[in-house]
Amino acid sequence: MSEPDEYAELVLDTVERIPPGRVLAYGDVAELLGVGGPRQVGRVMSLFGGGVPWWRVVRADGSPPSGHEVRAMEEYRVEGTPLRPDGRRVDMRRARWDGPAPDGGLAD
């Protein structure tokens, strides 16, 4: 496996900034960066995401990453991430992170 390139580093840095109990969709990460799209973010997460809180990046419908649902759900419970009534998806309306505050700090 190769080392992460500059784009991958940006994606991973953004994911590390997502506070516990909050999430971003793959497309949200790309939008915050202003480059790439959901598929590019997903590729980075698939190759290099093991060292960051990967469970905080979900599909647009709130579904956890494919193949990692059980572990992601454990993390959501520990972090108090709001879930949909079905208990299988994140409630994106309540859990979506607004991104970094203008001063560079973490926004709620």
Secondary structure of residue 5 in the 3-state scheme: coil
Residue 103 has pLDDT above 70, yes or no: no
CATH (domain of 25) = 1.10.10.10
Q: How far is it, in rounded angstroms, from Cα 105 to Cα 108?
A: 10
Q: Give this prediction's pTM.
A: 0.89
Q: Which residues contact 38 (CB under 8 A, 6 or more apart)?
A: 25, 26, 27, 30, 60
> 76, 68, 70, 77: which is closest to 49 by C-alpha?
68
Specify if 47 maps to a domain: yes
pLDDT at 104: 54
- Give the pLDDT score at 81: 98
Domain assignment of residue 108, yes or no: no
Residue 89 structural domain: 6-95
Give a yes or no: residue 102 inside a domain: no
Angle (nearest 5°) at CA 39 between 53 and 46: 40
- Count of the separate structural domains present in the chain: 1
Q: Is residue 33 part of a domain?
A: yes
